[in-house]
A and B are shown apart, each in its own frame.
Chain A
Amino acid sequence: ILNVEQSPQSLHVQEGDSTNFTCSFPSSNFYALHWYRWETAKSPEALFVMTLNGDEKKKGRISATLNTKEGYSYLYIKGSQPEDSATYLCAFDRYKLTFGKGTLLTVNP
Chain B
Amino acid sequence: KAGVTQTPRYLIKTRGQQVTLSCSPISGHRSVSWYQQTPGQGLQFLFEYFSETQRNKGNFPGRFSGRQFSNSRSEMNVSTLELGDSALYLCASRSQRGAYNEQFFGPGTRLTVL
Contact = CB atoms under 8 A, between A and B. Distances in A.
Given A94-B99, A97-B33, A43 B4 contact: yes
A101 B99 CA distance: 20
B63 to A, nearest CB: 19
Interface string A71-109: 000000000000000000101011111111110000000
A99 B42 contact: yes
B55 interface: yes
A93 B97 CA distance: 11
Contact of B103 (A34, A51, A101): A34
A59 interface: no
Interface residues of B, number: 26
Contacts, number: 56
Given A95-B56, A100-B42, A42 B107 contact: yes
B83 interface: no
Interface in B4-33: 4, 33
30 contacts: A1-B59, A31-B99, A31-B100, A32-B100, A43-B104, A43-B107, A43-B108, A44-B90, A44-B105, A45-B105, A46-B102, A46-B103, A46-B104, A49-B100, A89-B43, A91-B43, A95-B55, A95-B97, A96-B48, A96-B56, A97-B33, A97-B35, A97-B43, A97-B45, A97-B92, A99-B35, A99-B43, A99-B44, A100-B42, A101-B42
